[in-house]
Amino acid sequence: MEVSESVNLEKTTYNGEAKLFVAIDCIIFGFDGENLKLLLIKRNFEPEKGKWSLMGGFVREHENLEDGSHRILNELTGLENVYMEQMQTYGGVERDPLARTLSISYFALINIHDHDKELALSKNGFWFNLDNVPDLIFDHSEMVDKALAHLRYKAALHPLGFELLPDKFTIPQLQKLYEAIYDKQLDRRNFSRKILSTQLLIDTGEKNEGGSTKKAILYKLDKEKYNNQFNDFHYFTPKGFV
């Protein structure tokens, strides 16, 4: 194309086509040592002011989806470099009463003890046990249900659960996490055998001096092996468990 025939793409629009808003909603899971939890906000703005929702926001003009999801998570928790995974797009015509809005859902796994509690509170952020989640606005309950189902599927096959734990942990603490994810009990000996067989754990030589797992061996994650083997199949749960 000759220069005289070139088109200024920055000023070109799709005439007659509707403009849609694009939002990101984050399903943020945490583990407090006993229960799997969900971080929600109580909205102080319309629509649905005073009701509970996921943490979300609109994608900015010069921002890609991944950057937007990490920004929104950071604005609520103060955390960076957190495990996040894109789930799916929700595009119901009337899902948002103010404007036609598409939302891309992400789920995030965080160490609940690392997040900025004061920052979360300043955004009206509160943790809920998964068996006590309040009614949520729009289609957010559907987002949570699908994210939990995906977490359960993926955690059974891959070492995803370690993202929810502190740097040092015991095998009983890890088992409690998986029992919280699936809301079922696991056989202690089988679970311990499967976890140790992955060779993802490093014995720190230390013992837990407090809590329900007092004097149990403290392990830490071999991060190099974890990164190399993340997509390998480890089968942490019994066949047919999920």
1-38, pLDDT tens digit by residue? 333 344 444 556 678 788 899 999 999 999 999 999 99
Contacts of 230 by beta carbon, 8 Å cutoff, 6+ apart: 158, 159
Cα separation, 191 vs 133, in Å, equals 29
Cα separation, 236 vs 134, in Å, equals 31
- Give the pair of three-digit tokens for residue 98: 């103010």
Q: What is the pLDDT of residue 232?
A: 78
125 pLDDT higher than 60:
yes
Task: Reduce the DSSP state of residue 211 to 3 states and report it.
Answer: coil
pLDDT-based confidence at residue 50 (cuts at 50, 70, 90): very high
40 pLDDT higher than 80:
yes
Q: How many CB atoms lie within 10 A of CB 79?
A: 17
CATH class of domain segment(s) 158-229: mainly alpha
Task: State the chain's maximal CA–CA distance in angstroms.
Answer: 78
Residue type at 24 in one-letter notation: I
114 pLDDT higher than 70:
yes
Categorise residue 221: left if φ over 0, alpha if ψ from -120 to 50, beta otherwise.
beta
Q: What is the pLDDT of residue 90?
A: 97
Instruction: Tell whether domain 21-155 is in CATH 3.90.1300.10.
Output: no
Q: pTM score, two decimals? A: 0.88
Task: Reduce the DSSP state of residue 206 to 3 states and report it.
Answer: strand
210 pLDDT higher than 80:
no
Please compute the mean of the pLDDT values over residues 149-178 and round it to a whole number.
92
Q: What is the mean pLDDT of the chain?
A: 89
Q: Helix 188-197 crosses helix 171-182 at what angle (to 10 degrees)? A: 110
Residue-level length of the chain: 242
pLDDT-based confidence at residue 229 (cuts at 50, 70, 90): confident
pLDDT-based confidence at residue 156 (cuts at 50, 70, 90): confident
DSSP state of 136: B
Q: What is the pLDDT of residue 4?
A: 37
DSSP state of 133: P
pLDDT-based confidence at residue 176 (cuts at 50, 70, 90): very high
212 pLDDT higher than 90:
no
Q: What is the pLDDT of residue 8?
A: 47
Question: Are the beta carbons of 4 and 13 closer than 8 angstroms?
Answer: no
DSSP state of 19: P
Side-chain-side CA neighbours of residue 22 (13 Å) = 13
Share of the chain above pLDDT 70, in %: 89
Domain ranges of the chain: 21-155, 158-229
